[in-house]
Amino acid sequence: MNALNDSARSGAESLKFRSLGGWVELPSDLQPALEGQVQADVIVVGAGFAGLSTALELRALGADVIVLEQEFAGFGASGRNAGYLLGSMGVEYEFFANRVGVKQATQFIRFYDEAVPYVEGRLKTLGIDCDYNPSGVLRAGVHSSQEKRLRQNMALGQKLGAMTRFVDGDEMRARGIPSAFLFAAEQCGGTLNPGKYVSGLRRAAIEAGVRLYERTPLLSFSEGAVITCKTAHGSATAPVMVLATNAYTPQLGVLRNKIGAIRVSALETQPLSTEQLATLGWQGREGIITPHYTMESHRLTAHGTMVLTVKKLGYAYGSKTPNIPDQGAYKALAQVLRERYPALQGLGIQHCWSGYVSGAYDFLPVIGAMGAKQNIFYTVGCTGHGLGTQSFAGSLLAAQINGDKPELLAALQHKTPSILPEPLQWCVMQSGFAAAKLMDTWTDKKVRKDKARKG
Ligand SMILES: Cc1cc2nc3c(=O)[nH]c(=O)nc-3n(C[C@H](O)[C@H](O)[C@H](O)COP(=O)(O)OP(=O)(O)OC[C@H]3O[C@@H](n4cnc5c(N)ncnc54)[C@H](O)[C@@H]3O)c2cc1C
């Protein structure tokens, strides 16, 4: 299986690629693939934060639950992300408000922000130790020209209910935040090891009696009062199905008109020495993201490395999700590392990886039900916020399937704009990325110019 090959170098100049991401390994207790015919109350497809949370919550309500996972739990974005548990921080609030109006946008912000205490509570209830550091998350500017937009965004967020405060330069320095970051908006939340979080959910699900079938891709399914899911060596039937397949969903032939698969990349350094950590300061180890149009994220890990993500996004024609290196993104992140931390010049890069998030044109979550009997539920489109929101969506979907009517879930219903057919979609994505890059390059040039002037 190519996807599970060991790390490989794809050229003399390239940075080392880790195909599974930096946080997970193939589980030593890989669960058996589905053989033969099985039945359940609910079939969940996909074992990331969304699928495992839904399965656990349903199981707690007494349901008999099957999870089908094409590789292993945590193979997707849930095992590859940056590990920020962040509420609505980083959301472009004006997109939300313009699209659905202030009243409904407030509900979306509530959904994002309530996801933080939800996950914090689940870590305690399920006894998952994933190095969670409730340090708060900073959206920090690297150039003074970013301050106006950051403040405007923050003000609109506050109007929509987001609990954010401004951190000025004096406070940034007093807290030892690396000097590249000048000022910030701050929100609650923090950072964790997403590999340990998703593995903890997996363990809890198995212990709770969820039947998890790994290396079992869903190949096709039938609609109706009873849904039949076909896999390579068997089939599963249930009156309810949940698609928790995130960016891979369009490949199943559904929701193609609502979401696209966007490639996001990450870089992890070698562990920092005691001297390097002392030089850096950053005692609170706050998770930092920047207000670039294509953001940067910067964090320290509990195992002493630094993880940087994003800077350059990717899109493969037809919303495909190949598990291949994106050397352009890794080099862009390596440049960010050198420029933001000049005191760490000798710090080596351990490896890089990429994963896929799903996004709608309006950047809003896409959660709903489909099928002739409206018994096929889905939750996608949480872009770079899914650690919290996709976990939380699991509890809302489980309640809905149990016959309740969670008012927050109802409040999120809206019309998702239609994705254009290919090749127009490819062109839209490439132009969007190019425009964002242009704006960000301009900001970064100003940072370099200011630095050169100061010597
Ligand atoms: C580099 C990177 C950094 C990120 N950083 C953050 C962050 O710091 N904070 C944050 O909140 N979010 C972040 N995200 C986004 C976050 O990781 C996702 O939103 C979240 O993990 C989505 O969870 P999920 O369960 O919906 O999807 P996934 O974790 O992608 O799970 C989908 C699962 O479905 C399985 N699957 C797909 N097709 C099939 C099939 N046919 N049959 C069976 N199984 C199938 C896949 O193998 C996969 O395991 C980041 C993402 C990336 C890639």
Contact 184, 172 (CB under 8 A): yes
23 lines ligand 1 (CB under 6 A): no
- Please indicate, yes or no, if residue 8 is contained in any of the structural domains: no
Omega within 30 of 0 (cis) for the link into 27: no
> What would the two tokens of residue 212 be?
């998890």
- What number does the ligand 1 atom closest to the CA of 74 have? 49
Q: Does 7 have pLDDT greater than 50?
A: no
- Please indicate, yes or no, if residue 179 is contained in any of the structural domains: yes
CATH code at position 61: 3.50.50.60
Q: Helix (H, G, I), strand (E, B), or coil: what is residue 65?
A: strand
Segment 303-337, tens digit of pLDDT: 999 999 999 999 999 999 999 999 999 999 999 99
Average pLDDT over residues 113-138: 98
Q: In the chain, how many H helices and how many E strands?
A: 10, 20
Write the CB contacts of 18 (distance below 8 Å, at least 6 apart in sequence). Answer: 7, 351, 352, 353
- Please indicate, yes or no, if residue 35 is contained in any of the structural domains: yes
Position 26: which residue type?
L
- Please indicate, yes or no, if residue 321 is contained in any of the structural domains: yes
- What number does the ligand 1 atom closest to the CA of 356 have? 53
- Of the pLDDT bands very low, low, confident and very high (cuts 50, 70, 90), residue 154 is very high
Give me the pLDDT at residue 175, please.
Answer: 97
Q: How high is the mean pLDDT of the chain? A: 95
- Please indicate, yes or no, if residue 4 is contained in any of the structural domains: no
To test ligand 1's pocket by mutation, which of 248, 268, 352, 382 has the most ligand atoms within 8 angstroms of CB?
Answer: 248
Segment 77-112, tens digit of pLDDT: 999 999 999 999 988 888 889 999 999 999 999 999
Residue 338 Cα, ligand 1 centroid: separation in angstroms? Answer: 29
State pTM to two decimals: 0.96
Kind plus residue range of the DSSP H or E element containing 400: helix 386-401
To test ligand 1's pocket by mutation, which of 26, 80, 81 has the most ligand atoms within 8 angstroms of CB?
Answer: 81
Give me the pLDDT at residue 124, please.
Answer: 98
Q: Does 11 have pLDDT greater than 60?
A: no
Give me the pLDDT at residue 92, please.
Answer: 84
- Please indicate, yes or no, if residue 24 is contained in any of the structural domains: no
Pairing of strands 189-191, 366-370: unpaired
Give me the pLDDT at residue 91, please.
Answer: 86
- Of the pLDDT bands very low, low, confident and very high (cuts 50, 70, 90), residue 438 is very high
- What number does the ligand 1 atom closest to the CA of 287 have? 8
72 lines ligand 1 (CB under 6 A): no
> What would the two tokens of residue 68 be?
């089908």
Residue closest by Cα to atom 52 of ligand 1: 81
Residue 44 Cα, ligand 1 centroid: separation in angstroms? Answer: 14
- Of the pLDDT bands very low, low, confident and very high (cuts 50, 70, 90), residue 383 is confident
Residue 356 Cα, ligand 1 centroid: separation in angstroms? Answer: 7
Q: How far is CA 88 from CA 192, 251, 307, 315, 429, in A?
A: 17, 29, 21, 24, 23
68 lines ligand 1 (CB under 6 A): yes
Segment 12-59, tens digit of pLDDT: 458 999 999 999 999 999 999 999 999 999 999 999 999 999 999 999
- What number does the ligand 1 atom closest to the CA of 198 have? 29
- What number does the ligand 1 atom closest to the CA of 52 have? 25
Q: Which domain holds residue 363?
A: 30-450
384 lines ligand 1 (CB under 6 A): yes
Contact 414, 100 (CB under 8 A): yes
Kind plus residue range of the DSSP H or E element containing 58: helix 49-60
Give me the pLDDT at residue 384, please.
Answer: 86
Specify the number of domains making up the chain.
1
Percentage of the chain with pLDDT > 90? Answer: 93
- What number does the ligand 1 atom closest to the CA of 50 have? 25
Q: Does 10 have pLDDT greater than 70?
A: no
Residue closest by Cα to atom 13 of ligand 1: 384
- According to DSSP, the residues that pair with 357 across neighbouring strands are 262
34 lines ligand 1 (CB under 6 A): no
- Of the pLDDT bands very low, low, confident and very high (cuts 50, 70, 90), residue 231 is very high
Residue 80 Cα, ligand 1 centroid: separation in angstroms? Answer: 8
Residue 148 Cα, ligand 1 centroid: separation in angstroms? Answer: 33
Give me the pLDDT at residue 13, please.
Answer: 59
- Please indicate, yes or no, if residue 23 is contained in any of the structural domains: no
357 lines ligand 1 (CB under 6 A): yes
Give me the pLDDT at residue 6, please.
Answer: 36
Angstrom distance (rounded) from CA 252 to CA 229: 12
268 lines ligand 1 (CB under 6 A): no
49 lines ligand 1 (CB under 6 A): yes
Q: Does 73 have pLDDT greater than 50?
A: yes
Residue 99 Cα, ligand 1 centroid: separation in angstroms? Answer: 25
Buried b (16+ CB within 10 A) or exposed e, 8-21: eeeeeeebbbbbbb
Residue closest by Cα to atom 51 of ligand 1: 81
- Please indicate, yes or no, if residue 2 is contained in any of the structural domains: no
15 lines ligand 1 (CB under 6 A): no
Give me the pLDDT at residue 337, please.
Answer: 97
